[in-house]
């Protein structure tokens, strides 16, 4: 009996995503729990597994936006219609004729019938024949890199990439009659202008959602930022003295982030409103501290969550940060890894930022911005001395948190960092 492939519930506040790629192809045999497709949401990329063994029939193409509960494929009984690993024909919704390309039975075996959205855009923009472009993707699929390499080599001039005036004097290629004469298509820039002066690529779904959420935060919250500076001498001295032994005992390096996380946990206990959230006209006080740690990746900024950071030791925080950061860079974070944060720490200092105003991560009410450590002259006991200093920035939702509370919170963080033994003693 056929089983529908549905988009499962994906966690807190996630209602839709984009099919990034089908791991298995139409007509291919699959096993139970074997990954079928990769879905990109506004939080992470997740793999959707098969519920049982059978033959996959694809109903939604790559690049389509799908909602939770929507049927995107079907697993049927019976043998596969082609060997595993060979490129499949497109499902009915993704027939290439809709993009002005010839039917799949006219394509040579080395060219996949399904083009990804990015590849299809490049092919249409430059009026290329995809069957004339060497493909290097799995199963003979055409990749974006194949098309860009083809453009850069100038081969498009031999495969239909000439200017429209030259095309109009030549007979159309087989299977492409009328494609270039569509009056609704605006004139495209010449390949030289595109390849030498600019490159236009669509935003990923994750990047679009990040943009939407940041704009939403600016429009819905009364964001204000307060600043302070911290003398990092004590933390740096303590870290230098114990980092070798710490790593030997706990198996992880002793970084700065665990000091800041513990300092924030203590300050959040002192000023609990900073860890609270607004829900309509209600204030929701959180009885736990889930700290989000902003991590930069090739796909964009993600904020995995160190859960119950208030119950973790320095070593526990360092281990969890290391685990989450590795998953983020490998694009293997789950929805649970990115959900439920109550407070966020962002370290722009690793990129050399001296000062910035971080933006809130809704529905959280505050975010701490760390910056680079820089030696500066400061006055200590009426003497001018050189100390390693860091600017701290706390952005907060002024609808919920008063200025006095925000400033006090930042002072408590500063006090703990300048005397880290207080964090060990939890005072």
Active centre residues (catalytic)? 398, 402
The answer to whether 43 touches 339, Cβ cutoff 8 Å, is yes
Cα radius of gyration (the chain): 27
Cα-Cα-Cα-Cα dihedral of 280, 281, 283, 284, to 10°? -40
Main-chain phi, psi angles of 345, to 5 degrees? -120, 130
Residue in the block written with tokens 């290391």: 322
Show the beta-strand stretches assigned E in 221-293: 223-231, 277-279, 282-284, 291-293
Main-chain phi, psi angles of 84, to 5 degrees? -60, 140
**DSSP character for 166?**
H
Q: How far apart are CA 298 and CA 320, in angstroms?
A: 21
Cα-Cα-Cα-Cα dihedral of 73, 77, 79, 82, to 10°? -10
Q: How far apart are CA 148 and CA 139, in angstroms?
A: 19
Residues with Cβ within 8 Å of 237's Cβ and at least 6 positions away in sequence, in order, are none
């Amino acid at each position: 009996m056929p089983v529908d492939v549905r988009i499962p519930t994906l966690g807190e506040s996630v209602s839709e995503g984009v099919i990034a790629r089908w791991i298995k192809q139409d007509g291919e045999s699959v096993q139970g729990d074997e990954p079928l497709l990769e879905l990109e949401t506004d939080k992470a990329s997740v793999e959707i597994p098969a519920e049982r063994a059978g033959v996959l029939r694809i109903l939604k193409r790559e690049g389509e936006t799908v909602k939770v509960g929507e049927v995107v494929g079907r697993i049927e009984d019976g043998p596969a219609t082609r060997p595993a690993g060979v490129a499949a024909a497109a499902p009915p919704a993704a027939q290439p004729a809709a993009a002005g390309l010839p039917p799949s039975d006219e394509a040579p075996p080395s060219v996949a019938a399904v083009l990804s959205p990015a590849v299809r855009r490049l092919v249409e923009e430059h009026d290329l024949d995809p069957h004339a472009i060497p493909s290097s993707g799995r199963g003979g699929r055409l990749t974006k890199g194949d098309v860009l390499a083809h453009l850069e080599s100038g081969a498009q001039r031999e495969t239909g990439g000439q200017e429209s005036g030259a095309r109009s004097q030549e007979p159309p290629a087989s299977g492409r009659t009328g494609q270039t004469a569509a009056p609704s298509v605006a004139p495209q820039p010449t390949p030289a202008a595109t390849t030498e002066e600019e490159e236009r690529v669509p935003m990923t779904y994750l990047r679009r959602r990040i943009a939407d959420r940041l704009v939403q935060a600016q429009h819905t919250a009364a964001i204000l930022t307060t600043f302070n500076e911290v003398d990092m001498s004590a933390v740096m001295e303590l870290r230098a003295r114990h980092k070798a032994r710490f790593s030997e005992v706990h198996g992880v390096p002793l970084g700065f982030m665990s000091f800041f996380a513990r300092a924030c946990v203590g300050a959040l206990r002192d000023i609990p409103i900073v860890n609270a959230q607004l829900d309509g006209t209600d204030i929701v006080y959180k009885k736990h501290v889930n700290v989000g740690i902003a991590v930069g990746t090739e796909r964009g900024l993600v904020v995995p969550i160190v859960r119950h950071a208030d119950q973790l030791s320095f070593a526990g925080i360092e281990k969890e940060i290391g685990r989450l950061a590795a998953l983020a860079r490998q694009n293997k974070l789950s929805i649970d890894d990115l959900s439920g944060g109550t407070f966020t720490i962002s370290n722009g200092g690793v990129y050399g930022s001296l000062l910035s105003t971080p933006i809130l991560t809704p529905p959280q009410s505050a975010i701490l911005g760390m910056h680079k450590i820089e030696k500066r002259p400061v006055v200590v006991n009426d003497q001018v001395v050189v100390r390693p200093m860091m600017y701290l920035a706390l952005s907060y939702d002024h609808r919920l948190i008063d200025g006095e509370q925000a400033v006090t919170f930042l002072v408590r963080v500063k006090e703990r960092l300048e005397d880290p033994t207080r964090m060990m003693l939890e005072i």
